[in-house]
Amino acid sequence: MRTFLGLWGALLILAGWLGLAHAQAQAQAQPVPVPALAPISLTPQNRVSTIDLRSRFWVDPTARRTVEEVATGATAWAVREPGRSYNIDGRALWIEFVVQAPAGGRWFVELQSSGIDRVQLFRPTADGRWVQEEAGDSRAVSRWPLPGRFPTFELATSASVPMRHFLRIEHARVDFATPIAIYDHASLLASRESEQFLLGGYFGLALLIGVVSAANAIAFRDRNFGVYAVYVLALAVGQLAYLGVGAQHIWNEQLDWNQVATFVLPGISAAAGLWFARTVTEPARFSARLDLFVWVLIAVLLACVALDTALSTRTTFAVLMLLTVVALVVIFGLVAMVWAKGDDPNIRLIALGFVPVVVMALFPLARGLNLVAASGWTRYGLSIGAALEMPILFYALSLRGSRRRESQVRAAALSHSDALTGLAHERTLLQRLDAALVRARSMRHSCALLGVRISNYDVIVADLGAGVAERALVVAASLMRGAITDIDLASRVGEHEFVLLLEGPTTTENAMSRAQQLVASGLRPSPALPPGTTLKFHIAVAVLPEASLDAISTVKWLLDGLKTMRADTRKLIRPLNF
């Protein structure tokens, strides 16, 4: 209950913040009349210039005025201020600016946002006519005057005469609030190259994480990785549309899809993110109603995406944005609930992974709700958050998957290994020894077998109890593993008896060296045992093959030789046949 109260409290605070931002944006939207325009001076020392406060705008309510009518007509122009938003549904926004530049340079005006429906630039010619160029979602990017993610046009410049330009913009469903800047040729190229480099890194990382997650899902049958792959790829495809990369490189000629992709894909990404959050937090463990609520919210999100695609209105898109905000709050609540329960050791890392996307997604959401102007944060905030999120969540899922598979691996290993020590069973030893004896006889080389017994095991049980004795067996098993190589085998064949098979070609000196190493390691104190407790090993060593003994007979011969060693013997290592 406290979690849900906190959830709805956070939603109310967010709604209040959004309302305050909207009120401030409306307060800034009052037009400031301007009688005339001063030229924007373009110089090599000032390679990037904004047209804010140096341009003026007018909204054509009919969207039918020609450039000649606008240029000569008595319209109510107003100063274009930074961060200004314009609701131009069914109308056209005209922006006028004047530039003056030295001869020999090339200058470009760029609208720094993708997804604009239609942008036209009108620039003057020497004979007084207007040259028109067009870009935006209504036209394939390959047919833009300067193809790219953002509408960009080359300006007409003259060293002696200021050149007047008009931008005509049509944009529906979301207020137009795009920054507009003027670049020289070198600065524009540098800006585009850096953006393409960073975006290539992001989409490359997303593709890599998505493919590897899908491979893990198939290889380990891990549902968490499968849903994560869907989420990562859905978010990446949504960013392809939102950032204009898809229109530029992937669906360039598919204009109908391009006009709806910016609205459809982010909603699908939000539903995929909520699905992934539900998968990793498993709310059904705590409340069947909460789990049902999450499923209903996912269904409502997808239904709203379909409705918005069919109706394409400002209202349906606003509802979709608000539902996305609710989805983010629910994701936060689910992670917080599992964190509070404290039953998942990886939930803190998962929560850390969600934070960048939940926080950064607020910027494009505020832009979609017309509460803030377009900026670098609204354009790239979600991509930055996703780039931070992906490796963190992938690592967290890997840890969780390893922990869950560990029990499966242990269960599968019980068929051929000892449950307490993890060493091989006697049956596995006999199989390996049979094969080793066949190879040794056919290739005429020697292998070795070491029988090991904890001679003070009964004393440990009597003095320290069965619990300490079990720990002594585990410590002994660890020492056995340390005394062999990757091709050798350690096995437990009795309550406190072990056998080491040294498979490779070996000598008596090598076998005795291994035995001495094992004796010395047992006499060293171990932090897993009480202070002063050591392991006293008795070891019988045999070099094989021995006469015509098979695997069973060889092991019996080795253990019989080990049993003949007295508890108080001073010679802890007994060679059997050398």
Each residue of 329-381: pLDDT tens digit? 999 999 998 888 877 788 889 999 999 999 999 999 999 998 888 899 999 99
- Which pLDDT belongs to residue 233? 96
What CATH number does residue 565 fall under?
A: 3.30.70.270
Nearest to residue 337, comparing CAs of 287, 300, 295, 380? 287
Distance (Å, rounded) from C-alpha 343 to C-alpha 206?
30
Domain co-membership, 136 together with 222: no
Domain co-membership, 461 together with 394: no
Domain co-membership, 272 together with 392: yes
Position 17 in a domain: no
Position 420 in a domain: no
Position 15 in a domain: no
- Which pLDDT belongs to residue 65? 94
Domain co-membership, 299 together with 386: yes
Domain co-membership, 397 together with 446: no
Domain co-membership, 302 together with 342: yes
What CATH number does residue 112 fall under?
A: 2.60.40.2380
369 near 22, Cβ under 8 Å?
Answer: yes
Out of 188, 214, 239, pick the residue that ends a domain: 188
Q: Low-confidence residues of the chain, pLDDT below 50?
A: 1-34
Position 12 in a domain: no
Q: How far is CA 370 from CA 18, 57, 94, 315, 317, in A?
A: 10, 19, 20, 12, 11
Out of 357, 385, 411, pick the residue that ends a domain: 411
Domain co-membership, 244 together with 344: yes
Distance (Å, rounded) from C-alpha 401 to C-alpha 390?
16
Domain co-membership, 215 together with 183: no
- Which pLDDT belongs to residue 364? 93
- Which pLDDT belongs to residue 570? 87
Position 142 in a domain: yes
Sequence-distant (6+) residues with CB within 8 A of 267 are 301, 302, 304, 305, 308, 320, 323, 324
Distance (Å, rounded) from C-alpha 51 to C-alpha 362?
27
- Which pLDDT belongs to residue 412? 58
Position 461 in a domain: yes
Percent of the chain with pLDDT over 90: 73
Domain co-membership, 178 together with 236: no
DSSP strand pairing (56-60 vs 78-79): antiparallel
With b for 16 or more beta-carbon neighbours within 10 A and e for fewer, the 14-31 pattern comes to: beeebeeebeebeeeeeb
The amino acid present at 463, given as its one-letter code, is: D
Domain co-membership, 430 together with 315: no
Q: How many domains does the chain contain in total?
A: 3
252 near 141, Cβ under 8 Å?
Answer: yes
Distance (Å, rounded) from C-alpha 260 to C-alpha 257?
5
For 375, counting Cβ atoms within 10 Å of its Cβ (0-12 exposed, 13-18 middle, 19+ buried), the class is middle
What is the separation, in whole angstroms, between the first and last Cα of the chain?
76
Out of 142, 165, 188, pick the residue that ends a domain: 188
- Which pLDDT belongs to residue 73? 78
For residue 142, the enclosing domain spans 29-188
Position 20 in a domain: no
Helix pair 466-482, 508-523: axis angle to 10 deg = 140
- Which pLDDT belongs to residue 3? 42
Whether omega for the bond prior to residue 356 falls within 30 degrees of 0, making it cis, is no
The pTM of the whole model exceeds 0.85: no
Token pair in block for residue 322: 């608000």
- Which pLDDT belongs to residue 411? 56
- Which pLDDT belongs to residue 410? 59
Domain co-membership, 97 together with 155: yes
Domain co-membership, 59 together with 89: yes
Position 4 in a domain: no
